[in-house]
Amino acid sequence: MATTAPPANTIRKGVQPLRAGQGNSFLWRRLHSLSGIVPIGAFLIEHIISNFEILNGPLAYAKQVQFLNSLPLVRVLEWAFIFIPLAFHALYGVFIAFRGRSTVNVYPWAGNYMYVMQRVTGIIALLYIGQHVWRQRFSGVSLPEHPGAAFAKVQHELSNPWMLAIYVIAMIATTWHFAYGIWLFAAKWGITPGDKARKRFGYICAAFGTALCIMGLASIVSIVMAPPAPDDVMPEKPAVTAQASPSTEFRHPENYGSRQ
């Protein structure tokens, strides 16, 4: 049985060899990696910091929402730096996740679990963000037009214990996904090639992710524990009609809240 010669150029079974220099998957995969940090990760940080204003009460939160919506070209920013990159990251991420073949059942090692968790948390984040964007941004009271209604809208949403549980789980999953994503970014782009560098940066990412998660959870706890907020803490229309009455003409924004 002298069949030592390799099989001739027939159709190869099993995993195919590298298609050297062909295709665009390198570009898409790197864009996916980059988009997770900038702009999506940057937006996540901004979002959690903005939501942290909840701890300062409905008016402070309303002002933060108003400030963000007063940014120049805000709708362009929103689509170019949030919705489109997020949709790409999510859809390409699902594509990546379903092409992997998890081996944790055989090799129950830390990195292997992290690999699976990155995909699981990504899917959780996608499902959560889908309903979150729909319910909070595109349906109900329009917050860009009525920033004062932000606190009440979120508070009402979280009054449902199921929704509260979804928010808590999603907060943990999303910040985990981001923190490990930063670590992956550094490792995959060759910023932290060495074992020590990767380990140390892992601690930094873990601390950062934990901090973000605690900030987010604190905001959730704060809005759930807060007394029911008025529907709109800075209504525009009463202010317009109030021009007829001289006594309320120069009302300071700080006083808006006390009117209710």
Partner 1 sequence: MATAARTIQVEIKRQSSPDQPATTEKFEIPYRPNMNITSLLGEIALNPVEVTGKPTTPITYDSNCLEEICGSCAMLINGKARMACSALVDKLEQPIRLAPLSKFPVVRDLAVDRSVLFENLKAVKAWVPIDGSYDLGSGPRQQPQIQEQRYPLSNCISCTICMEVCPQFNDSTSFVGAATIAQVKLFNMDPAGSVLKEERLRALAGDGGVQECGMAQNCVAACPKQLPLIEAISDVSRDVVIQQVKDFFSL
Residues in the site for partner 1, rule: CB under 8 A?
6-7, 12-23, 25-27, 29-30, 96, 99-103, 106-107, 109-112, 114-115, 118, 184, 187-195, 198
* Shortest reach from residue 45's CB to partner 1, in Å: 22
- Number of Cβ within a 10 Å radius of residue 51: 22
The encoded tokens of residue 197 equal: 């560098």
**Cα dist from 64 to 22, 59, 71, 180, 208, whole Å:** 48, 9, 11, 28, 23
Task: List Cβ neighbours of 124 (8 Å cut-off, separation of 6 or more).
Answer: 169, 170, 173, 174
* Shortest reach from residue 33's CB to partner 1, in Å: 8
The encoded tokens of residue 33 equal: 């990696």
Closer residue to partner 1, CB minimum distance, 99 or 237: 99
* Shortest reach from residue 73's CB to partner 1, in Å: 28
In the chain, the amino acid numbered 252 is H
Closer residue to partner 1, CB minimum distance, 66 or 102: 102
Closer residue to partner 1, CB minimum distance, 134 or 189: 189
First vs last Cα of the chain: how many Å apart? 93
Q: Which residue has the tokens 């529907």?
A: 231
* Shortest reach from residue 87's CB to partner 1, in Å: 21
* Shortest reach from residue 9's CB to partner 1, in Å: 11
Closer residue to partner 1, CB minimum distance, 34 or 217: 34
In the chain, the amino acid numbered 141 is V
Closer residue to partner 1, CB minimum distance, 17 or 161: 17
Q: Which residue has the tokens 């292997």?
A: 112
Task: List Cβ neighbours of 205 (8 Å cut-off, separation of 6 or more).
Answer: 179, 180, 182, 183
Q: Which residue has the tokens 């090799």?
A: 107
Closer residue to partner 1, CB minimum distance, 194 or 227: 194
* Shortest reach from residue 174's CB to partner 1, in Å: 19
* Shortest reach from residue 86's CB to partner 1, in Å: 21
Instruction: Please spell the DSSP secondary structure of 149-213, one letter per residue.
Output: GHHHHHHHHHTSHHHHHHHHHHHHHHHHHHHHHHHHHHHHTTSS-SHHHHHHHHHHHHHHHHHHH
Q: Pick from 165, 159, 177: which is nearest to 227 by CA?
A: 159
Closer residue to partner 1, CB minimum distance, 96 or 218: 96
